[in-house]
Amino acid sequence: MPLSRVAEWYVLADLQALCKESDLTYAQIGVALGVSARTVQNYVSGETRPKAGMAAQFAEICGASKKRIDFLIHVISQLDSGMIVSDLSKRNILIVEHAEAASGEIWKWENVYIPGPFQIERYHMELLPEPSKNPVRNWNRKHRRFMTISRRDPAPVMNILMNANVLRQIRDWDGAEDQFNHLLEVDQWPNCEIRLLDGLHYGAEHEFTVYLPGGNPKAPPPFVYVESIDQSRHIEDAGKFGLYHGLVKRMWSSGQRIGGRLDDWIR
């Protein structure tokens, strides 16, 4: 199987982020690891890649949570698989967060819900069938993702496509106007557009997101993130990537840009 370029990118991006978040010097991390500062620099620059055990120690020294460390090891274990597959016990959202912070072009299709980073707090807390025992923690994570995307400079190209039924489902909720107005504000961001699409579309039963570098040298290679009830996949194969990218672009051409009043969309 070919090397998973997304896995390789994620390992490097997470080591760099951990180092930055910790405020530790290469020398300090090296002393704790029992290696030289130059070795740590090589890990962070991508010149060499630490083995799983060393990467876990690196992350722990930098203050990473156990779940974050476990996911880093999970990704390293799939480097040679050609595709990252994660079940529900893994924190696959970590790759999504890094991709949202670095990809230059993002195409998002949502069939059922308002996209996570663009939900308002009441939508998350009151409407979602939240399986987690800690919905506040999950909301805080969504808000951090929103802030990361909104502060990017230059702004990425973001094409957000939603099934129009996503809005119709909230027509009787007293927070619907606030959520709709929030989407209108996001639609006015630089390089961002939200469209709504009616009808049934083959292959669009599950939400998915397409990430492309868009000229950003720190971005991940092109990949598609697909999530179903039992697992998530990060698809890199050029043929499969093309299927998803082509599908979302075809649907996009039939969508209508969000605007006006909520009543215009939920009749």
Q: What does the block give as tokens for 242?
A: 């093309």
pLDDT at residue 57, as a whole number? 96
| CA–CA separation, 146 and 124 (whole Å) | 13
pLDDT at residue 89, as a whole number? 47
24-28, 53-57, 89-93: lowest mean pLDDT where? Answer: 89-93
> Does the pLDDT value for residue 104 go beyond 80?
yes
> What is the percent of the chain where pLDDT is above 90?
73
Kindly report, residue by residue over 219-240, the tens digit of the pLDDT. 999 999 988 766 778 888 899 9
pLDDT at residue 12, as a whole number? 92
Are the C-beta atoms of 179 and 258 separated by less than 8 Å? no
> Does the pLDDT value for residue 257 go beyond 80?
yes
State which fold the 93-266 domain adopts: Endonuclease; Chain A (3.30.870)
On average, the pLDDT of the chain sits at 90
pLDDT at residue 1, as a whole number? 41
In the chain, which segments carry CATH 1.10.260? 5-82
Give buried/exposed letters for 108-143 (b at 16+ CB in 10 A, else e): bbbbebbbbbbbbeebbeebbeeeeeeeeebbeebb
pLDDT at residue 200, as a whole number? 81
Are the C-beta atoms of 135 and 125 separated by less than 8 Å? yes
Are the C-beta atoms of 72 and 54 separated by less than 8 Å? no
In the chain, which segments carry CATH 3.30.870? 93-266
Side-chain half-sphere exposure of 56, counting CA atoms within 13 A: 12
At 231, phi and psi to the nearest 5? -165, 165
pTM equals: 0.86
Q: Which CATH number fits domain 5-82: 1.10.260, 1.10.287, 3.30.70, 1.20.272?
A: 1.10.260
Contacts of 227 (CB under 8 A, 6+ apart): 92, 206, 207, 208, 233
Determine the 3-state secondary structure of 53 from DSSP.
helix
Summarize the confidence of residues 66-77 as an average pLDDT: 88
